């Protein structure tokens, strides 16, 4: 889509790469707009079932480009948020492939993903308070929903860096790979996810995210509004037929 964001496809998985390695993939306005534009386009394509987000040059993302911030270049897209992602993640499953640093806004972008695969050498943190800032791209809201409250407080208030192994222990990182193998691991996992029916994946993701705010009384009613169309879809019929005929399903996202 742009020099700052590279998009390539591996089967039915799209790979989005933040391409500012000399700046440790710090997010500027061009990166944010590039990611938003890529997701807007890819979300309309039924043949793409999942995404992988990664960074070029051995680093995921070191956060906001502070030099750009000082010059008035804000890496926020209206409706999408920081990095073109954090306020409104895509409907399809998104896997983060983390090498090197995932700090500040970079960590927040990883938190906006549905699954995180990280190298054993990867480092995570929310150092914004050390710069007089606040992790306002979802980090301090998402983190305490994913890990124990007091640990989230420690990470957010100290601004310290934490290894992938610690976040794996806490259940925040799904898989840890050898250094340099995070993308390979993420593609393996994304490929497994993308082998499932697109409509079912999108509905499952939506229910998991939105149901956190549902009351007991409204849970099944709201879930039904999201999942009932899936049961009447062509893909649902295809899944049953493929099972009966002992063959791989051919999904159409319909």
CB hemisphere CA count around 183 (13 angstroms): 19
Taking residue 184's Cβ as centre, other Cβ atoms within 10 Å add up to 13
Contact criterion met (CB below 8 Å) for 144 and 152:
yes
Pairing of β 101-103 and β 123-125: parallel
| Cα angle: 36, vertex 83, 78; to 5 degrees | 60
Nearest to 59 by CA among 182, 187, 189: 182
Q: Provide the residue count of the chain.
A: 254
Contact criterion met (CB below 8 Å) for 92 and 51:
yes
* Residues labelled catalytic: 108, 128
Contact criterion met (CB below 8 Å) for 90 and 39:
yes
Contact criterion met (CB below 8 Å) for 69 and 56:
no
Pairing of β 94-98 and β 76-77: unpaired
C-alpha span between 128 and 40 (Å, rounded): 29
C-alpha span between 16 and 113 (Å, rounded): 12
Contact criterion met (CB below 8 Å) for 102 and 167:
no
CB hemisphere CA count around 67 (13 angstroms): 5
């Amino acid at each position: 889509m742009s020099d700052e964001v590279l998009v390539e496809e591996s089967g039915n998985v799209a790979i989005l790469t933040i391409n500012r390695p000399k700046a440790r993939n710090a997010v500027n306005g061009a990166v944010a707009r590039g990611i938003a534009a890529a997701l807007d386009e890819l979300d309309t394509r039924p043949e793409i079932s999942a995404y992988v987000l990664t960074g070029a040059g051995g680093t995921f993302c070191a956060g906001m480009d502070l030099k750009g911030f000082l010059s008035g270049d804000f890496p926020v897209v209206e409706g999408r948020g920081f990095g073109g992602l954090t306020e409104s993640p895509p409907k399809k499953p998104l896997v983060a492939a983390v090498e090197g640093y995932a700090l500040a806004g970079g960590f927040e972008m990883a938190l906006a993903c549905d699954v995180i695969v990280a190298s054993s050498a990867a480092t995570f943190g929310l150092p914004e308070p050390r710069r007089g800032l606040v992790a306002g791209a979802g980090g301090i809201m998402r983190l305490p929903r994913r890990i124990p409250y007091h640990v989230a407080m420690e990470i957010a208030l100290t601004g310290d860096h934490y290894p992938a192994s610690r976040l794996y222990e806490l259940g925040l990182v799904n898989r840890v790979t050898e250094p340099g193998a995070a993308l390979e691991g993420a593609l393996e996992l994304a490929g497994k996810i993308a082998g499932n029916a697109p409509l079912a994946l999108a509905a499952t993701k939506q229910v998991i995210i939105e149901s956190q705010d549902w009351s007991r009384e409204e849970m099944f009613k709201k879930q039904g509004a999201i999942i009932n169309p899936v049961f009447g879809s062509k893909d649902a019929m295809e899944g049953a037929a493929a099972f009966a005929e002992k063959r791989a399903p051919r999904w159409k996202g319909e």
